[in-house]
Structure 1
Amino acid sequence: MSSSLSAVLRPLTRAVTYTRWLHLLIATVAGVLTGFLRSEALYSGAWVWLWYVVLPVPLLLLAALIPAVRRVEGLQAQLLLVPGPHGPEERATSGISTSPSASWRDRGRTAGWLLLRLTTGVALTALTVQLPFLSVAFARAAVGLRTHLRDLPSIDAPHWWYGLLVPLPLVVLLAVVVAAGSLTAAAARRLLGPSAAERLATLEARTERMLEHNRLAQELHDSIGHALTVTVVQAGAARAAGSAEFTDRALAAIEETGRQALDDLERALRLLREDAPRPADRPTLTDAARLLESARAAGSQVRAELSGPLDALPGPVSREGYRMVQEALTNVLRHAGPVPVSVRIAAADDALELDVRNPLPRTPAPRGAAGRGLRGIRERATLLGGEATTGPGDDGEWRVYARLPLGPGGAAPTSLKRRAPRACRESRGCFPASP
């Protein structure tokens, strides 16, 4: 019994009940203001409430044509109809849009909302005014006074039992307030909710954020992983060599690699700060010599072949190509050690080819040890509209090969954005797998 009573009384303890009440009372303002256009309507008894509903209709229909009205109504509905905190994240998940009208469908839904809010608001305002007076009439009749309150039936035969009816109008009023508030909030989500175009735009923005986070994770994995791999190999080689001269060279290479890794880390952190400009100094294939020297400093014999106009490559291709070569060299140092490596970077008119080869290690790498980095290479190639293959070849070498198109269907920045969501779904690298 107590739990049932608590459930009935709980809405009366919530602030949103009273903010919804206020929201509906505000809707009557338009009716009251236009009611002054017909002075006799103010003295026509209960019919005044009907005028408050009818007179503002033309003005509301005209207001619905203004795109900003939908935004104003959406903001007001979010603040007064939706319970809980009202921060940006909570408002974004409220189901109520704050975007201006972008189509005639949006304007039609806004008009329907304005008319519904006006009708409901005027009806609730009438009850808010009349029902408390009815309680007063019952109280007067309970103490033996005749009542002739305006717009209410007169009580010519007062009696004490009218006192039992005093709380009834107030209970009815509170029940109507709770029900009208809940129904209005549900109607707001339908009539002021995001349109199909807005939902699509929100989904695309969310997809872009997920792609950006995935790219940053891959950037950190490639750059920091490369730096740590080179550092470990250099430190181990210096300890095994027992040569002061080699140790000095190894320490210099570790210092330079660490400095580059710190620059990459700072660049990634700047991207995560919303108020910071996007850095434009990400390394490209024109900086490939830095990678090759790093691998040579780690003890590998690197034979490089660079051809074609690398400085004329599109930005996305050049930047992602750099990371792919970096990950391929990191994979060599991590799993094969300082072995001879062949690197070919060839830029042609229609495609960029990357080819990194090294002898297979004598001891096979543990299962899954190289999965993340090599999968990242394939993901980058897919996002750019190309393809990449990794694995042992028939000649006893491990090969990482990628071909990135440069034509109209290739890797221009706009094309990259357009192809990214599908590519991520295919490679399962940007989104969690569907349940």
Structure 2
Amino acid sequence: MRILRPLISGYTYRRWVYFILGAALSVPYLLFAMVAVPSVVPYSTTVSGAGLIGLIATVAVLAATAFLPAVRVLEAAAVRELLGQPAPGRGRLRCAGMFSLHVVTGAVIGTVTLLLPAGFGFALNAVFTGRFIDSPQFRLSVPRGWESAWLPASFLAAFIGLVYVVWGLGGVLRRTAARLLGLSAAERIAQLERRTEQLAERTRLARELHDSVGHALSVVTLQAGAARRTLHTDPGFTEEALTAIEESARTALEDLDHVLGLLREEASGRTPQSGLADLPALITATKQAGADCRAEMRGDLAAVPAVVSREIYRILQECLTNAVRYAGRVPVTVSLEVAGSRLHASVVNPLGSAQPSRVRGGRGLRGMAERAELVGGKLSAGPVGENWEVVVTVPWGNR
């Protein structure tokens, strides 16, 4: 039943712990008040006036200590863990106000939490002995037996009522904490936007690693196999293969170092900005891997925007990596044409040992499609007859 939810909800007792913590934090201030009030009695005409002065002094001390950095950290942790409300701790004044409210409400709830069980014990004893309070200063007697059964029952009902008070007051403090310490709607939106930008950047870096390091490892694997087979029969070819391995590994390490530096938000000495101007070097590296790679380039590559140049280069790099990795030593034709404000590129190679199921794609094909979409282009990849063909078209400017 809904009315019983506060009694069985774990949130109620977490909030109760929050109040008990506030009660524990209030003890030093209560001790200060016990010392401060008698100290100002000689300077006050009445006891009530001394109590007022002592109360003001205690509140001033509470407000002053609420600004301590350790107190702000403690209150933010308590709000986050016990009230279930994210609390970045924005603003010293807000944190101080929340801490003061926590201590005051905690002192009240903590005191009632101690008194009700004690009162229930005295009331239960009074049912059998007839003495509810029995002290030299004050004595309160009640009838024995069932006539006094209402007394422990009332304390029990009060304790159950306290559970509902804790649940409701904890909810009020939770909303107060959200208003004082939590992020505003605009700040939450800005935080989500920053997080989205970070995730997008990490995705881009993951694509960079996949394309650059993946290509280098494919070249290294093929060259290492070729060098092993020709180690004793063709030392000249073996030396060329080892040189290609060295260059590919060095480039991959530089790219990896750069990406790791970006992930750690560190400055990097080298920023890989490979573009279509580096395509001849890529073709040479693919030839060194054993593929018969030919390139046909038409148009002014310098007219291609830098962002398009970088993304198309990575797409072509991934195409050549896939051709070497899946099709083996087959002829590969790279065609690149720039006409006006439009770029058309394609990579064609025989399927070789690759299977047509590649049309479903993996991370590489998805990454290429994402790169093409990023610059407003379109990419298609799949078997065409006995060949595997990747075609990408990117317009720019007014389109």
TM superposition score category, shorter chain reference: 0.5 to 0.7
How far off its partner does 1:378 sit?
Answer: 0.5
Q: Does 1:308 align with 2:300?
A: yes
Q: 1:268 aligned to 2:259?
A: yes
Residue segments in structure 1 that go unaligned for 5+ positions in a row: 29-38, 53-68, 85-90, 101-109, 148-154, 410-435
3-state secondary structure, aligned to 1:305: strand
SS in structure 2 at match of 1:95: coil
Instruction: Please name the residue that 1:230 is paired with.
Output: 219
In structure 2, the partner of 1:81 is 79
Deviations 1:298-345, CA, capped at 9 Å, x for gaps: 23232241642438623x333322211110111111122233322234
d(CA) in 1 for partners of 2:323, 2:371: 19
Between the two proteins, what is the percent identity of the paired residues?
A: 31
CA contact (8 A) 1:127 1:173 kept: no
- Alignment match, 1:283: 273
Q: Secondary structure at the match of 2:373?
A: helix
The residue number in structure 2 matching 1:378 is 369
Q: Helix, strand or coil: the match of 1:82?
A: helix
SS at match of 1:373: helix
- Indicate how the Cα distance of structure 1 residues 248 and 311 shifts in structure 2: closer, same or farther if over 3 A, else same: farther
| Rg larger in structure | 2
Inter-CA distance 325–128: structure 2 relative to 1 (3 Å threshold): closer
1:363 CA drift (Å): 3.6
* Partner Cα separation in structure 1 for residue 46 and residue 336 of structure 2: 85
- From the superposition, tell whether residues 45 and 173 of structure 1 become closer, same or farther in structure 2 (CA, over 3 Å): farther
Instruction: Tell me how far apart the structure 1 counterparts of residues 105 and 349 of structure 2 sit (CA, whole Å).
Output: 83
Q: TM-score, normalised by structure 1?
A: 0.59
With 74-83 and 368-377 compared, the bigger mean Cα shift is at: 74-83
Q: Structure 1 405/171 Cα, relative in aligned 2: closer, same or farther at 3 Å? A: same
CA contact (8 A) 2:356 2:383 kept: no
Residue of structure 2 in register with 1:187 after alignment = 175
Residues 407 and 252 of structure 1, relative CA distance in 2, 3 Å threshold: same
**Matched residue, 1:415:** none
C-alpha contact 2:22 2:104 (8 A) present in aligned 1: no
Q: Is it true that 1:357 corresponds to 2:347 in the alignment? A: yes
After superposition, the CA RMSD in angstroms is 5.4
How far the C-alpha of 1:393 sits from its partner, in A, is 3.7
In the superposition, relative to structure 1, how do residues 76 and 384 fare at CA in structure 2: closer, same or farther (>3 Å)?
Answer: farther
1:349 and 1:26, CA in 2 relative to 1: closer, same or farther beyond 3 A? farther
Q: 1:401 to 1:15 in 2, by over 3 A?
A: same
Secondary structure of the residue aligned to 1:399 is strand
Q: Distance in 2 between matches of 1:275 and 1:143?
A: 72
Separation in 2 of the partners of 1:400 and 1:262? 28
Residue among 162, 182, 193 paired with 1:204: 193
Aligned CA distance change for structure 1 residues 380 and 132 (closer, same or farther; 3 Å) = closer
Distance 2:190 2:288 in 1: 48
Shift of 1:125: 5.0
Report the TM-score, using the length of structure 2 for normalisation. 0.64
Aligned partners of 1:284 and 1:321 also within 8 Å: no
Paired amino acid for 2:357: R
Structure 2, unaligned runs of 5 or more: 1-6, 31-43, 57-66, 124-130
Q: Is 2:218 the partner of 1:216?
A: no
1:294 CA drift (Å):
0.3
